[in-house]
Structure 1
């Protein structure tokens, strides 16, 4: 990958899109992970205004520390960057008092995790609406178009996606080029939606390098019969997520009414 040229291409794309949309800048949620770190740095490099928002909900201390380190570094490097913090833990806890808990515990845990992401989306759009900014998404290609590893109308609810055509390994490469803090580069990828230290790999059952490989194999029209051992297992994991999360990656179904019924 021609890293510097890719960076310049994304920065110019961001600036051009915002200018044509009449937007004054960008809003982005900072999680302490590589995707939000890279995306926010790319947004900052446009020279347009950038608001970085921390939105903790029972967040692991390591995630909070990395997010704060990154925001501090960005503000030192770029004069167009500002930050704010919205503690959503009380909002989340109050929401939990108003809903029922019928069903399996694993299902309840998952829907509450998705609720966290949707509360954050609402917060981002609140600030974006006040300021006339765009909400920048942080999803990479594997998450957005491979396994659908994001929350519909949560972190998937954005105005534009600067890094969604980049594999996770390419995001890391750009992060190193951009000078993202070493603590973030070395951190194990995690969505942070469960308030503990579980990683993305813990949840999915495969690492990002493995998922990138499986995504490439799918594009080459391979099937699970082409593999054995761990490769077969990884390919099955990828295809299972790809199929079950296709509703996230496809356009919303619209019931079209025949003209003779109108």
Structure 2
């Protein structure tokens, strides 16, 4: 009787163990599937949506960095960009020289370490395999292709002459960007933009009410000035054939 009870208890314990292992394996497989399809779902959600929606998705992903919600990552990215800017801009270091010197240093350390282990009777260090996975590269290329195609579509729409206001805004923006580009090189401009991304969102989140109030007043003044400019200049410009076709 006791042996029969013990066998029952053992069978119940085996069933519980099998159930737990099955749940763990299924949950781990599900988590692996979710991780592998996470980036593809993000990219798929970006395609076919408006610019504001796609910007919101990207902003949610990078909010921890630019809003300093994860201070270690934010400080690391800003410190790394500052170090790169100091190396290449202030110290006038070259990218090819930096890569070669870095590889020389790493290879020398690993070579000496591997040979030193034979004298101290220890196993040589394990050098991990470094390779670029295919899936993230393809996902990045797909997302970049979508954005480039959208930019070409926007430029084509602007050049078609349908919206004079948008055309003048783009021309003014490119002109200002060309002036800024003539004052500093690309690396300095990229560093300035990177620093602004780490400071402006935080300041806006802190002083949101004051900034919104000032922006509303500035927008009202801009609309007034644009109305005067439209009445004196834009309204006197002859309309293109596309606008005539719309009226017909």
Coarse TM-score class (shorter-chain normalised): under 0.3
Q: Answer 1 or 2: which has greater strand percent.
A: 1
TM-score, structure 1 normalization = 0.23
TM-score, structure 2 normalization = 0.24
Instruction: Determine which structure has more spread, i.e. the larger CA radius of gyration.
Output: 2
Name the structure, 1 or 2, with higher relative contact order (CA <8 Å, separation 6+).
2
Q: Answer 1 or 2: which has greater helix percent.
A: 2
